[in-house]
A and B are shown apart, each in its own frame.
Chain A
Amino acid sequence: MTLKGIALMSNETNRISIEELKRNALEIRKNVVRMVARNGQGYVQQGLGAADIFTYLYFSEAQLDPKDSSWLERDRIFLSTAHNSALFHATLAQRGIISPESLLSYTNDGSALEINVSERLGSIVEATCGSLGQALSVAAGVSLTAKRNEKSYRSYVILGDGELQEGQTWEAAMFAASHHLNNLCLIIDLNSLQVEGHTDKVLKMEPIDKKFEAFGWNTIMVDGHNFSDLRDAFTSASNEIKKPTVLIAKTLVGKGCLSLEGQLSHNMILPQNVAIRALEELGERYD
């Protein structure tokens, strides 16, 4: 599929430059490593892997008011992979939605920055997920009401590829296509990693694109680390007039830290020396 033509038609004047996106993604990655290293809890590989997707979504794509996360006209972003919380909180801090200091409380007892993102944090968390495969349904409900009320806000769902094994994902996929929810955009973080290892070894899911096409979705394969490709893909999603859109975003776990890239470890412990090396690879000294 060629997206260049569509991309050129869209108004990009308000959008942030790719250099700015890269700069933000780098800062977010550094915080992911620092946060996970501090308490020895959190999902560093998944965070580094999806950092570019999160950056694009929160800095360029979604209509948000960082000062008012309950703004009624905001785009809704659902984090189905609620465990990707170091990345989520780091992204919110970088975007100015929560304070950078709050990241220091990540996974501390009593903190609202839990290891599974919870709406204790506030209305920026559109639904408390973590029990996998539930967010797409809730987002579809939001999109359904938005369409009925002729609202322009859109729903985005960040879904782990392993969640495609949950039956509810496909119930929701069928529902969204059946109700023509073109204001719904699903982003699959295709990092091929689940608890027991490579997704192909646990339960084969390919061909994912053909499955979504068969379910009636506008289906786009995209490099989850290429901001230009992400921009084209999201533009195609917003120009779609009838179908929901799925972006199947190929990502590399540990992206940005050479020593961690491709290490398929779901609950990876990040000892101090590994964290220091990872930060050096990101161009930062750990202190």
Chain B
Amino acid sequence: MTNNLHLGDFTSNASNSVTIPKYYGDALVKLGHEIPEIVVLTGDLSPATECDLFRDIFPDRFFTAGIAEANMVGISAGMARSGDIPFVHTFSVFLSRRSLDQIAMQVAYPNLNVKLCGFLPGLTTLLGVSHQAIEDNAIMRSLPNMALVEPCGARQIESAVRAASAYEGPVYLRLHRPSKPMSPAEKLLPLEIGKGQLIIEGTDAIIFAMGHMVDISIDAAKSLLPHGIKVAVANIHSLKPLDTNFILENSKLASVVVTAENHSIIGGLGSAVAETLLEGGLSRKFKRIGIEDTFAEGGSTEFLFNKYGLNSINIQNTIKRLINDGQ
């Protein structure tokens, strides 16, 4: 007798909950209706990357590559050369670590219209160091031709997918499945590749944040307001191309600049902002918040974010310290 208990998947609570919509999967299906050239590849991770929704609607445009990421990237390149727009699905860590050469030579160098959709960014997985992509942004942004987009939560996922598909060329989409549904009060956020987005204005400090860290930075800014510290928060959903004018203009208005990313402090958003400020001739008290050049461990997202300093308190304390003594 077949076991048909439907007990769910412990690695991915979001997929088992009827209350959390599949924001990414729904967006991909919508685009699938609009753009017949979109095809989908998966490395044995359809439910965890939500492309099972696309599979069920467009079975003829859905292809399983098995657990073989390097080959899957090569396949996508061949399909893109034949006029398809492949969306390639696996975890971020496997794209950036296992398939880097294939991405560089077969996707980025020929500038093909392939969308690399990586899930489980940074410390958002209990599966430990093997599954935690902590240097993917550093790797991907250093590839010529590659664009890098990370939406800041459920409210920006659809616009991120839409922007990636409209963009002519390779895009690394760094995606996270929300752990809770959007509240009715939340508004959808647009996303324009190559543009920064000011979410909160403030003159004492500015936080440039990405992905998961945007909401945490908003919380930090709101918590600092009663202390008389006005903190701006900017969403850098497009790490590449980077809106350097936006970063410079907004940094000029603040005396303290902080970056916040669910990624190593080396090579990602923090590095990109530092490069921009220095080359723009702008000197500010500055601190990168992110994973401090260390491997992490398996654990709940909340536990890991607190342990490794990706939380509101750490951002608040960092800003206070910078304002008070410049350290």
A residues at B contact (CB < 8 Å): 119, 126-131, 134, 136-146, 148-149, 155, 167-168, 171-172, 174-175, 178-179
Structural contact, A141 and B79, CB atoms closer than 8 A: yes
Chain A interface helix/strand/loop/mixed: helix
Q: A138-B81, A141-B82 are in contact. Are A174 and B74 (CB under 8 A)?
A: no
Closest to A133 in B: B70
Q: Chain B 67-96, CB within 8 Å of chain A: the 1/0 string?
A: 010111111111111111000000000000
B65 lies within 8 A of chain A by Cβ: yes
Contact (Cβ within 8 A) B65 A139: no
Q: Evaluate contact between B73 and A137: CB separation under 8 angstroms.
A: yes
Q: Indicate whether B106 reaches chain A with its CB closer than 8 angstroms.
A: yes
Contact B106 A145 (CB under 8 A): no
Consensus secondary structure, chain B interface: helix
CB-CB contacts of B103-121 with A at 8 A, as 1s and 0s? 0011001100000000000
Which of B63, B78, B102 has most A Cβ within 10 Å? B78
Name the residue of chain B whose CB is nearest to the CB of A132: B101
Q: Are A138 and B77 in contact (CB under 8 A)?
A: yes
Beta-carbon contact of A140 and B68 below 8 Å: no
**Contact A119–B110 (Cβ < 8 Å):** yes
Q: Does A145 lie within 8 Å of B71, measured CB to CB? A: no
Contact B81 A141 (CB under 8 A): yes
What's the minimum C-beta distance from A71 to chain B, rounded to whole angstroms? 14
Contact call B106/A127, Cβ cutoff below 8 A: yes
Q: Tell me, in angstroms, the Cα distance from A179 to B72 when the chains sit together.
A: 13
Taking Cβ atoms with an 8 Å cutoff, the residues of B that contact A are 39, 60, 63, 65-66, 68, 70-84, 101-102, 105-106, 109-110
Shortest Cβ distance from residue B100 to the other chain A in the assembled complex, whole angstroms: 11
The interface residues of chain B lying within 8 Å CB-to-CB of A134 are: 74, 101-102, 105-106
Instruction: Give CA–CA (A138, B72) in the complex, Å.
Output: 9
Please, how many angstroms separate the alpha-carbon atoms of A10 and B281 in the complex? Answer: 72
With A128-B109, A134-B106 given, is the CB distance from A143 to B70 under 8 Å? no
User: A172 vs B109: C-alpha distance in the bound complex, in angstroms?
Assistant: 21
A137 contacts B102, C-beta separation under 8 Å: yes
A contact residues around B77 at 8 Å (CB): 127, 137-138, 141
Q: Is the Cβ of A175 less than 8 Å from the Cβ of B65?
A: yes
Complex-state Cα separation, A103 to B63, whole angstroms: 42
Distance in Å: Cβ of A5 to nearest Cβ of chain B = 33
Choose among B75, B84, B110 the residue that contacts A140 (Cβ–Cβ < 8 A). B75
Chain A residue contacts of B84, Cβ below 8 A: 145
A137 vs B102: C-alpha distance when bound (angstroms): 10
Report the separation of the CA atoms of residues A179 and B79 in the bound assembly, to the nearest whole angstrom: 14
Q: Are B66 and A137 in contact (CB under 8 A)?
A: no
Instruction: Say whether A137 contacts B78, CB under 8 Å.
Output: yes
Least Cβ–Cβ distance between B39 and chain A, in angstroms:
8
Contact A148 B105 (CB under 8 A): no
B82 with A137: CB separation less than 8 A: no
A23 to chain B, nearest CB (A): 34
Q: Which residues of A contact B60 (CB under 8 A)?
A: 148
Which of A131, A141, A142, A145 has most chain B Cβ within 10 Å?
A141
Contact among B73, B74, B83, B105 with A145 in the assembled complex (CB-CB below 8 Å): B83
Q: How long is the Cα–Cα vector from A168 to B82 in the complex, in angstroms?
A: 21
User: Which residues of A lie under 8 Å from residue B74 when comparing CB positions?
Assistant: 134, 136-138, 140-141, 168, 172
Cα separation A148 to B61 with both chains bound (whole Å): 9
Q: Are B75 and A127 in contact (CB under 8 A)?
A: no
**Contacts A144-B75, A172-B71; A127 near B102 (Cβ below 8 A):** no
* Min C-beta distance of B8 to chain A, whole Å: 28
* Known contacts A127-B78, A130-B105, A144-B75, then 5 further A-B pairs from the complex at CB < 8 Å, ordered by chain A residue: A129-B105, A136-B74, A137-B72, A171-B68, A175-B71
Q: Which single residue of chain B is at the shortest CB-CB distance from A119?
A: B110
- A-side contacts of B79, CB under 8 Å: 141-142, 144-145
Are B78 and A142 closer than 8 Å at their CB atoms? Answer: yes
